[in-house]
Amino acid sequence: MASFEKRKDGRWRAFVARGGVRVSKVLPTRQAAKDWAARKEYEVLNERPEGETATFGATLERYAREVTPRKRGARWEHLRLMRFQKDPISRLKLRDLKPAHLSKWRDARLREVTPGTVNREMSLLSGVLTVARREWGLIESNPISDVRKPSKPPPRDRLATPAEMDALKISAGDDLANKTARAFHAFSFAVETAMRAGEIVGLSWDRVDLQSRVCTLPMTKNGTARAVPLSIEAVRLLEALPKMEPVFGLNSSQLESLWRKLRRRAGVEGLTFHDSRHMAITRLAQKIDVLDLARMVGHRNISQLLAYYNASAAEIAKRLD
């Protein structure tokens, strides 16, 4: 219903309350106020809900604009959301998006990338659709909740052999003024500490205490700070570096590029930088208690360590005696 109120200055304020919408406007005459109110009531009564008109692509764009910037890893997520908008599925109206569309998209992606990548992308899409349902009121149910995720691949079980480590060391060289040498040095440091590549390249000297043999990570992948104890070898690796900031004088893209180059030159196949974490946890599990290990590497759920820890039955048998 519309109502009108004459103001002291002679103008009129029109009030419209329809369909949960409450708006008002001041106009010069009563007739102008009535005309405006009639138009506004018509718009409210005939307006189609955003969920009926918005495309899936527009919803992805809104999520990238309003939600993604508040997250750690925002750059990765933004790139994925932009890629989704190029897919034909993004042109569908959000109200028309069905599990069958998302299943077809999943199967097409599985022909391009690994099941692990598809699982991560499905989790992101589920997050978008959950916000669209709960917070924006654009849909009544999340269609991806009825779509089966690909089976998780078995965890990586790739450890560098001593021969491969020797080949990588020779390929990198000993001159730590050289970035390629520092890339291998960073890998060796990761094997000692189980630190992730991003944590290593972001390490600054003010976070390193060589006396107490601890380096402090103010923010990690889990969103919390972590103190990492350093072995004697880890301290030696740090002391061998030329003094620069950050500690290893590399950024993430440089380390990634240099590692690929170093691995190719050494003739080492399939070894990723992240495999250093697997190597470190497998080795550290033989030295320290599992609770201390979880704390050191930043795992809140101890079962997560099973993805990295892979001591053989023969090795476990030796420790039983």
> Tell me, what CATH number does 142's domain have?
1.10.150.130
Is residue 156 domain-resident?
Answer: no
Give the span between the Cα atoms of 149 and 126, in whole angstroms. 11
| Cβ atoms of residues 183 and 259 within 8 Å | yes
Distance CA 296, CA 289 (A): 10
> What is the number of other CB atoms lying within 10 angstroms of the CB of residue 186?
26
Q: Are residues 180 and 244 in the same domain?
A: yes
Q: What is the CATH number of the domain that holds 295?
A: 1.10.443.10
DSSP letter for 231, please.
-
Nearest CA to 78 out of 58, 61, 102 is that of: 61
Residue 151 forms part of a structural domain: no
Task: Name the domain count of the chain.
Answer: 3
Task: Domain of residue 94: give its range.
Answer: 53-146
Q: Which of 62, 182, 196, 277 is catalytic?
A: 196
Residue 126: count other Cβ atoms within 10 Å of its Cβ. 17
- The amino acid that residue 257 corresponds to is S
Q: Is residue 154 part of a domain?
A: no
Does residue 178 form part of some domain? yes
Q: Which one from 62, 106, 226, 308 is the annotated catalytic residue?
A: 308
> Does residue 208 lie within any of the structural domains?
yes
Contact by Cβ (8 Å): 232, 188? no
242 and 283 co-located in one domain: yes
Indicate if 170 and 306 belong to the same structural domain: yes
Q: What are phi and psi of 223, to 5 degrees?
A: 85, 10
Active site residue 299: yes
User: Which of 286, 278, 292 shows the shortest CA–CA distance to 314?
Assistant: 286
SS3 category, 150? coil
* Same domain membership, residue 311 and residue 235: yes
Instruction: List all residues 6 or more positions away from 202 whose beta carbon is below 8 Å from its beta carbon.
Output: 246
pTM here is: 0.62
The answer for residues whose C-beta is within 8 angstroms of residue 79's C-beta and 6 or more apart is none
Judged on CB neighbours under 10 Å (0-12, 13-18, 19+), 84 is buried
- Active site annotation includes 213: no
For residue 175, tell me if it sits in a domain: yes
**Given the residues 65, 221, 260, 274, the one annotated as active site:** 221
3-state helix/strand/coil string of 139-195: CCCCHHHHCCCCCCCCCCCCCCCHHHHHHHHHHHCCCCCCHHHHHHHHHHHHHHHCC
Q: What is the distance between the alpha carbons of residues 43 and 47, in angstroms, rounded to a whole number?
A: 6
For residue 196, indicate whether it is catalytic: yes
Planar angle of CA 218, 221, 223, nearest 5 degrees: 60
Task: State whether 90 and 117 are in the same domain.
Answer: yes
In tens digits, the chain (321 residues) has pLDDT values of 688 999 989 899 988 877 656 788 899 999 998 888 888 777 766 655 555 668 899 999 999 999 998 887 788 889 899 988 889 999 998 888 999 999 999 999 999 988 989 999 999 999 999 999 888 888 888 999 999 999 877 767 788 899 999 999 999 999 999 999 999 999 999 999 989 898 999 999 999 999 999 998 887 666 678 889 999 999 999 999 999 999 999 998 999 999 999 999 999 998 999 999 888 888 887 777 677 777 777 766 666 666 656 666 777 777 676
Same domain, yes or no, for 66 and 200?
Answer: no
Same domain, 84 and 193: no
Kindly state whether residues 14 and 67 are assigned to the same domain. Answer: no
Q: Quick check: is 133 in a domain? A: yes
Q: Where among 114, 146, 178 does a domain terminate?
A: 146
48, amino acid identity:
R
Q: Which of 182, 277, 278, 299 is catalytic?
A: 299
- Do residues 216 and 101 share a domain? no
Residue 308 annotated as catalytic: yes
Same domain flag for 138 and 285: no
Query: Do 190 and 57 have their domain in common?
Result: no
Q: Which one of 96, 118, 146 terminates a domain?
A: 146
Q: Is residue 170 part of a domain?
A: yes
| Judgement on whether residues 76 and 131 belong to the same structural domain of the protein | yes
- For residue 229, list its beta bridge partners: 214
Pairing state between β 2-6 and 226-229: unpaired
